[in-house]
Every structure is written in structure tokens, then in C-alpha cells.
Structure 1
Amino acid sequence: MAVASKDPSLYKHRDQIAVKRALISVSDKTGLLELAAALNSAGVEIVSTGSTAAQIRAAGYPVRDVSEVTGFREALDGRVKTLHPAVHAGLLADLRLEDHQQQLVELGYAGFELVVVNLYPFAETVGAGKPAADIIENIDIGGPAMVRASAKNHANVAIVVSPSRYPDIIAAIENGGTTLNQRRALATEAFIHTANYDGAVANWMLDQEQNAWGESDLAVDSYDAEDNADVIFEPVENAVVTYDLSGVRETVLRYGENSHQRAALFADLDSTGIAQAEQLHGKEMSYNNYVDADAALRAAYDHQQPAVAIIKHQNPCGIAVAPADAADAIAAAHKLAHACDPVSAFGGVIAANREVTEEMAKTVAEIFTEVIVAPGFTPEALAILTQKKNLRLLQLPADFAQSKTEVRPVSGGFLVQDADRSFKPASQWELAAGEPAAPEVLSDLEFAWRACRAVKSNAILLAAGGASVGVGMGQVNRVDSARLAVSRAGERAAGSVAASDAFFPFADGLQVLIDAGVTAVVQPGGSVRDEEVIAAAKAAGVTMYFTGERHFFH
């Protein structure tokens, strides 16, 4: 039942609130002692629990145990310690109201102005493959209760759930206290944090239900974190499966795809990707910059060798891997990628899967480029590239990892799928026509098969020497994609290899490639007219492989 609202005139405005009393209970001890030192210097009373209190005390800072405040010792192996009115009254008392102040006095309790809590490492315990009993013990109860209580009462309490916020809190304390806007932002982050935490627990529970724990609810079977996402896609009877799309707004963008559309960037707290990249230089990123940078990043990281992808409107105008004998691998890869379509590369977005070197920077500096995203830049490269005031430089987080799933909104909901990173090696392909390819040709075919994944369907990609030489993308029939790829390749089509993201429904698309001088083709196969296509390849003496997998990209 909802609580009746109080007369607004009863509330006293509170903006900046000095921190006099803090409650700290953290699993992640990063930065704990620095925070404790700052609180101690400011004369803040610290109340803490278990190992957190022990570490603060060992460092020589005064701290009160929660059990001293509650008059109740920890019970049930630590399952019950902060679930007590002496704690939660201090978290939930709305000190803008005189009657709440009076009730605290009558109860003999005191409020908290700062609460620092991060939760039991549930996801880490799952990821370590621990038994179910250990995982259940790492489902935090008291922590989320304190976080949510404090976040609800952000008019009076600052709630911190991440060590990354400690410097802001220390600065606020030194400047007289936290502000309402700061507390509101921290509360938002706190609710997102607990929502993500509960989502992880719920999905793990659903996965256990699906896989059947056995006779005991505490069966000690190991749990493989790699299987955690499976529950999203498995038809579990009578189960409600959730997928969390929450994130923290990082910035409001000038506009969206077009100037009349509003846009903002949100960052997922549990991921590391383009949204978490550090901008080292250049004017602010646009919506389209982010979209293209992410497409370029995905294309470059499809390859294990040093690789560069150049993207325009989410389509590659060049992808290449470095030759094995290249003195400067990433610079060589960029030159090959750029050579594919220099006209379209003008104003493009570049991604590299290795550190950008001075040699690559010298080449890029001569070409108008919107964005470069990479895991790093040498000091020499930065010195060159930062001379271009409009060039945006993005450095990926050190722990950058590609997402295992992809989400796309549709009206009324959204779709979720596994990310497409399945690339069968040539050893698993079926030779459908012609003679087995020589090793260097097979290497180009494998490159082309990976590279065509980044091309919007229908996709045809021609390659030679580990680089694209012609790309046909986004056409509504495969014949036009083949013609476009051949047209862009020009004379380079002769002697190249080709990859098609899906099967040729007729022989006409393949015939366009044959007529241009393509010597080998890789495609999924599986058309009802495969025999017609195979016959065309055999008649032309063209080698053709079937992969049995496709790479549609819409």
C-alpha cells in the first residue's frame, strides 16, 4: 500500500550536507584506506562491519563495529548483521522532517550522511566455477537493503557503490559536504547497481532450474560462467527470463543520426567497449561517430592478426591484416585497408586491433579522418595525430572485451542474439568445385570469409594479399553486390578471391565474379540450386568452398 504523501511545507530544503557519520561495508577493498584516511581527517565517525572494520582498524583509524551500534552480535554465519533498526533507521530517516528527527532521538539512534557499500562478489564466484552452495552464500541480502534504503533517502544520504567515486566523495567532504545533485546521481547509479546484481542472480537461478540441481537444492555441481547466457535462449517452461538494459548516462550528444533527433550515450556498468573508451583528443563524439566506431572496432577485432578496418556508414571501405614480414604491422595493415577504396575512406572511421604507431599516424595524418579507435597510441603517434584538431582519438579500456550478445530494439520490445563470431577454419570447409587452393590462396579465402562478416547484407568481398580489394554491400540482390564489388576492385578483381556472406541462389552472381577474373570463392552453400552454381564454377575452372555457415549482417 502506498504511503500517503506529506504536506510539502513540512520539508526543509537540504542541499549541501556535511558528512559527520559514515557506514562502510565493502567486499572490494580498493581505495578503502585512502577513503578512511580522508574521513578520519575530517572528523567523520566511521561505522563498519567484519573485514572492512578490521582493515580500517589495522591501519590505525578509529572505527565502530556495527554490532556495537545495534547491540546485536552477528548471527547465522554473518547472514544477519546489518538488518537492524539501528542501522536502517539511520539510513531511512528523512531529516528534512522534524518528526523523523524526533523519532530518532526517542529511539536513541543517529543518522548517516554517507554510506559506502559494494556487494558480495556473486558474478565473480559464478565465474570462478564455484559450487552452488558457495554461489548462494554470495547472494548479498544486507548489502542491497542498505544500498536501496540509502538511495531512496538520497535527499539526506550519499550512497557510494563503486571505488571510482571515492575521489569525488573525498573532494566533496573537503568542500563542506555532498550536494543534492551529487547524491541524486549516486542514488541512480546505486539502483542500477542493485538491478544488475539481481538480474545476474535471477539468470543464474533460472539456469539452475533449467539444468536441474538434483535431489538437493544445494547440489555442489560446478557452474560454468560461459553457459550463463544460455538461459536467455532456452525455452524454460513457466520461467520469466529478464535481460537488463540499464546503464548510466555518460553524455548528452549534440543530436542523433540527424540534427532534429535527440541523442545520449549510456554506459553499461558491467561492460567495457566503445562507451567506456577514453577520448584522448578531438571535438566531441557524435551519435554517428559512435555507431561507426563500434562497427569499425568489431570489424578489426574479427581478426587475430594485426588488422585495420575503415568504416563509412557502418560498412567497410577497407579491411586488411598485416603481411607476416611487415616491419610495422599495424601501419602496413592500414595502408592495405586504405588502398581498397581511397575515395570512400575520406571522412571515414578507423579501428586498429593493435597500438597505433608513428608510421601509421604519419599516413593517417594525410587523410581526412573522423575517428581513430585503438587499444593504444604510441607517444610519437599522439604527437602527430593531436595536430589534427578535428580528429577524434579513442583509446579502449585495458580490459576491453567484446560482448557475447547483441541487442536490437523493435517496436514493443527488443531482440537478443549471440554475437556472430563463428568462423569455421578452412580445414572444416567442403571443397565443392575445382582443385584445392594453394596455401596462400586458402589464406586469402579465410581472410575474406572473416572480413565479409563486417559487410552489410547482401555482401560480396574480394580480397588479395590479406586485404579487401573490392566490397559490394547492402544490395537487395546478390548479383548487384557482386557487380558493385567488381566495379570497386577494377583491375584488381582479376586473380582475387571472393567471399559471399550467404549462398548464391542462382549462378548469375557467381558468373559476375568469374567474368571479372576471380580465381576462388568461399560461400556457405545450401541453396536448392547449388548444383547449378557448382557447375558454373567447374566450367570456369574456379575453386569453390562451402562453409556450412553464413554471415548475414542487417
Structure 2
Amino acid sequence: GPSMVRSAAKNQDAVAVVTDPADYELLRAELDGNEGKLSLKTRRMLARKAFRMTAWYDHAIAEYLAHLEDNADEPAGNRLLALKDGAKLRYGENPHQDAAFYAMGRHKAGLGGLQQISGKELSYNNLLDLDAAMRTASEISDEPYAIVIKHTNPCGAATGSSIAEAFARSYDCDPLSAFGGIVGLNRSFDLATAEQLIAGEKFIEAVVAPGFDSDAVEALVEKSKKKWRKSIRLVKATPVHSAHPQIQYRSVNGGMLAQSNDDRRIEPGECKVVTSNVPDDRVMKELLFSWALCKHYKSNAICITNHKALLGYGAGQTSRVDATEHALMRAGDKAKGAVLASDAFFPFPDSIEKAAAAGIVAVIQPGGSVRDEAVIEACNEHSISMVFTGMRH
């Protein structure tokens, strides 16, 4: 058991402990070439692997026991991160950076349990975008939903009567930005969706979906003479769903930050209408669609949607009014009659004034600014309905 492995590893000066069959050939070669002896360097390498294996074993037991309790995944307290199956990537975010991908935890879902159906090897940037696409697409489950991601930000998002229609509408949101993007689907990739890609020569890097129909893969990849279509990465993966909150980690210089995932969803009954105009059922559904999408942009973020399709977005701006202007510019004339979502409160009514001039009819935002009353007053002046969610992203 683990006690014997640890004991042997502690005696590395005199003992070689072998825990990985992948090392057999290396050890045989060294024994054959060194009169049946292993160097101290090799014994220490073997001991290091042995301690990592027993640490992983102990961690798995601790995690199992922790998940029997309701507070298993609170971020605070001493924690061990068990990263397994490290796979070296070609390079990191940039070519001069080394990189690897590690599976984390006991889950077989998420990118740790992905199955690559076809295409070139996945890069560091591919994995970041695939994660963003999978998370965003999983926000909606009751109807087909497709996402196009570029640099972790959605540049296309739409529902449809079928996943093929959802993809077509999503790609058409911003075809220029969608070129070379990553597609996320909440339904299996089928032949009709493959035909949408083929007919329009829509160049994309990868697709992540919960499944891939064999005839779709055959039509898109196996029968194709196009080099880019043979290289397209088709990735089968589904998000991790757990009864316990998932913990999100981020490294900083000299430490690690931990927080629970931002996975809480707003129900219609939780929204508070704060304006004279009250959104009807269709507009409220549109607002909730826009809100679920806005969450996945870098703040300051604004997104504009109508008929459950993205029209414009402003992401990563240093002021909310700049984000609003970017979103309205992208939406153009389509902003008339559309709704607008903001990932945090409006500090001033200036964004509302610009939205009103473009024809926005409803706004969803967290609320909580010291100038909420001024923002509400601006909405009332322009007959815009607005709801507060009481939470931000």
C-alpha cells in the first residue's frame, strides 16, 4: 500500500521505488549500461514520482470525505491542488512561453474529460476559448443555442429552432470577428450544422459540443479536400455539473486567489422592475437572455440583443459609457427596439441617454449605484423599461 511506497521513497539513497510503468524502459537501459545499478539522480526522480502518487492518493480520499459535507468547497483554509495527466502544449499564450494542460479534480466532464474527434492538436489559446465557449453555451438548456468566441469574448450568440439555425444566426452576428473563432453548441453537432459550415465556407478553428454525429464529421472533415476543414478541431465536452460549488483559481505574483464560480442564474421573479414602463413577457425573456450573455464578457461590458441574437457588444472598456458606445456602434440601426444588458451598475445616466437615442427599449443591470435614481429618471423620461437583478458579474 501507500505506506510501503512512502517508506521506499524515503530510503532513496539505497532503494529505487518504481510506481510508473512508463519508466520501465528508461530503467532497463540504465541498468544494462551501468552494471545493474541506478544512479542517485534516477532514484531521487523515482522517489519524487512516488511521493506525488501517494500525495494524489491522500488528496483523493480527503476530497471524497470533504464532498460528504455541505461546505466542501469553501475557498478559505488549507487546500491542495491535485493536477494530473499533464500534457505539454506547443507553447503558451505566445510562442516564447512554455505551457501544459492539467486535468483537475475527480470530474470526467469539462476540458479535463474532453474527447478530440478530429483536427490539429489543441493549443493553450484554443483551450481558453473552448472553455469560454462551453461555459457560455451552457447558460441555456431549454432551446438550441450557439456561441462564437474570439479571445474568450462572445462575438456571436443566438438561439434557433435547431442547432443549425442557431449556429447560422450566431455566425451572422459578426461574420468579420467570427472568422477563425471557436464555436460552442449546447446540442450535438449534426449534419445540418456541418452543411452550414460547408456552404458558407465559414472558417473556424474549433467546435465544442456535447456530441458529434458521425455523418456530420464525415461530411465536414473526412470527405473534404480543404486543408482547413481537415484541421478543424472537433471537441466533445460537457461542463462540470456538481451539487457543490466549484472553486475558481487564479495565480498572482506570490500567491493564488480562490473564489466560488460565478454560476448563479437569475430567475424572472428575482428581477425588480424600477421604471414606470413594465417589460412584457417577451421583453423580459429577451432581457434575461442578454443578461446571461453579458456575464461572459470582460468588464466593463455591455451587450445588445433582440430576438435572442447578439447585435452589439462592448467589452473590456475602462468606462461603462465607452462600453455602451462600442455596443451601440456595432449594433447600428438594429439597436432600435432591442434590449441592453450591463454587467455592473451605471454610475451616471449618460449611457442611458445614448441608448435611448439609438432606440433601446429595455435595460437590465444590477443596480446599486449612488445615482440609481438619476438613471431611473433618465429611463422614465425616454419610456425605457429597466430591471435590477441585485447581483453583478
Q: Distance in 2 between matches of 1:352 and 1:148?
A: 46
Q: Does 1:229 align with 2:73?
A: yes
Q: Distance in 1 between matches of 2:205 and 2:55?
A: 33
Tell whether the 8 Å contact from 1:429 to 1:547 is kept in structure 2 after alignment: yes
Q: Does 1:349 align with 2:182?
A: yes
Specify whether residues 153 and 347 from structure 1 end up closer, same or farther in structure 2 by C-alpha distance, changes over 3 A only: farther
* Residue in structure 1 matched with residue 235 of structure 2 by the alignment: 394
Which residues in structure 2 correspond to 1:30-109 (within 5 Å)?
A: none
Tell whether the 8 Å contact from 2:115 to 2:236 is kept in structure 1 after alignment: yes
* Residue in structure 1 matched with residue 173 of structure 2 by the alignment: 340
Q: Distance in 1 between matches of 2:159 and 2:246?
A: 23
Task: Report the residue type matching 2:150 in the other structure.
Answer: K
Q: CA deviation at 1:274?
A: 1.2
Q: CA deviation at 1:355?
A: 0.8
What per-residue deviation string (whole Å, max 9, x for no partner) do you get for residues 241-268 of structure 1?
2222231243211111111111111222
Q: Distance in 2 between matches of 1:535 and 1:390?
A: 54
* Residue in structure 2 matched with residue 384 of structure 1 by the alignment: 219
Q: CA deviation at 1:285?
A: 1.1
Tell whether the 8 Å contact from 2:147 to 2:157 is kept in structure 1 after alignment: yes
Q: CA deviation at 1:298?
A: 1.0
Tell whether the 8 Å contact from 2:313 to 2:327 is kept in structure 1 after alignment: yes
What per-residue deviation string (whole Å, max 9, x for no partner) do you get for residues 363-382 of structure 1?
23321111111111001111
150-159 vs 263-272, which moves further:
150-159
Which runs of 4 or more aligned residues in structure 1 lie more than 3 Å from their structure 2 counterparts after TM superposition?
146-160, 177-189, 223-226, 399-403
What per-residue deviation string (whole Å, max 9, x for no partner) do you get for residues 220-248 of structure 1?
xxx85442113x34xxxxxxx22222312
What per-residue deviation string (whole Å, max 9, x for no partner) do you get for residues 152-192 of structure 1?
689755447xxxxxxxx6xx9xxxx9434799597476235
Q: Distance in 2 between matches of 1:469 and 1:543?
A: 19
Q: Distance in 2 between matches of 1:227 and 1:252?
A: 34
Q: CA deviation at 1:530?
A: 0.6
Q: CA deviation at 1:333?
A: 1.7
Q: CA deviation at 1:424?
A: 1.8
* Residue in structure 1 matched with residue 94 of structure 2 by the alignment: 258
* Residue in structure 2 matched with residue 74 of structure 1 by the alignment: none
Q: CA deviation at 1:304?
A: 2.1
Match of 1:304 among 141, 165, 169: 141
Q: Distance in 2 between matches of 1:516 and 1:150?
A: 73
Equivalent residue of 2:117, what SS?
strand
What per-residue deviation string (whole Å, max 9, x for no partner) do you get for residues 409-462 of structure 1?
011111111111112212111111132211111111111111111111011111
Task: Report the residue type matching 1:395 in the other structure.
Answer: K
Match of 1:248 among 79, 84, 95: 84
Number of aligned pairs? 362
What per-residue deviation string (whole Å, max 9, x for no partner) do you get for residues 389-416 of structure 1?
221111116x844771110001111111
Q: Distance in 1 between matches of 2:262 and 2:301?
A: 15
Task: Report the residue type matching 2:3 in the other structure.
Answer: A
Q: Distance in 2 between matches of 1:226 and 1:504?
A: 36
Specify whether residues 189 and 283 from structure 1 end up closer, same or farther in structure 2 by C-alpha distance, changes over 3 A only: farther
What per-residue deviation string (whole Å, max 9, x for no partner) do you get for residues 38-62 of structure 1?
xxxxxxxxxxxxxxxxxxxxxxxxx
Which residues in structure 2 correspond to 1:357-372 (within 5 Å)?
A: 357-365=190-198, 366-372=201-207
Q: Distance in 1 between matches of 2:145 and 2:327?
A: 21
Structure number with higher relative contact order (C-alpha < 8 Å, ≥ 6 residues apart) = 2
* Residue in structure 2 matched with residue 320 of structure 1 by the alignment: 158
Specify whether residues 194 and 363 from structure 1 end up closer, same or farther in structure 2 by C-alpha distance, changes over 3 A only: same
* Residue in structure 1 matched with residue 318 of structure 2 by the alignment: 476
Specify whether residues 309 and 226 from structure 1 end up closer, same or farther in structure 2 by C-alpha distance, changes over 3 A only: farther
Task: Report the residue type matching 2:25 in the other structure.
Answer: T
Q: Does 1:512 align with 2:354?
A: yes
Equivalent residue of 2:206, what SS?
strand
Equivalent residue of 1:487, what SS?
helix
Q: CA deviation at 1:331?
A: 1.4
In structure 2, stretches of 5+ residues that fail to align are 29-44
Q: Distance in 1 between matches of 2:151 and 2:237?
A: 21
Tell whether the 8 Å contact from 2:277 to 2:380 is kept in structure 1 after alignment: no
Q: State the TM-score, normalized to the length of structure 2.
A: 0.84
Q: Distance in 2 between matches of 1:257 and 1:153?
A: 41
* Residue in structure 1 matched with residue 54 of structure 2 by the alignment: 191
Equivalent residue of 2:370, what SS?
coil
Equivalent residue of 1:265, what SS?
strand
Tell whether the 8 Å contact from 2:287 to 2:341 is kept in structure 1 after alignment: yes
Match of 1:285 among 96, 101, 122: 122
Q: Distance in 1 between matches of 2:385 and 2:379?
A: 7
Give the share of equivalent positions with the same residue, in percent.
Answer: 38
What per-residue deviation string (whole Å, max 9, x for no partner) do you get for residues 320-357 of structure 1?
233xxx2xx21122122112111100000111122111
Q: Distance in 2 between matches of 1:530 and 1:316?
A: 28
**Aligned alpha-carbon RMSD (Å):** 2.6
Q: Distance in 2 between matches of 1:283 and 1:187?
A: 34
Q: State the TM-score, normalized to the length of structure 1.
A: 0.61
Which structure is larger by alpha-carbon Rg, 1 or 2?
A: 1
Specify whether residues 181 and 424 from structure 1 end up closer, same or farther in structure 2 by C-alpha distance, changes over 3 A only: farther
Q: Distance in 2 between matches of 1:351 and 1:303?
A: 12
Which residues in structure 2 correspond to 1:259-278 (within 5 Å)?
A: 259-271=95-107, 272-278=109-115
Q: Distance in 1 between matches of 2:219 and 2:52?
A: 38
Which residues in structure 2 correspond to 1:161-240 (within 5 Å)?
A: 178-180=24-26, 187=50, 190-197=53-60, 199-200=62-63, 204=66, 225-230=69-74, 232-233=75-76
Specify whether residues 150 and 179 from structure 1 end up closer, same or farther in structure 2 by C-alpha distance, changes over 3 A only: farther
Equivalent residue of 2:205, what SS?
strand
Task: Report the residue type matching 2:352 in the other structure.
Answer: L
Tell whether the 8 Å contact from 1:310 to 1:317 is kept in structure 2 after alignment: yes
Task: Report the residue type matching 2:93 in the other structure.
Answer: E
Equivalent residue of 1:454, what SS?
coil
Task: Report the residue type matching 2:216 in the other structure.
Answer: A
Q: CA deviation at 1:195?
A: 4.5
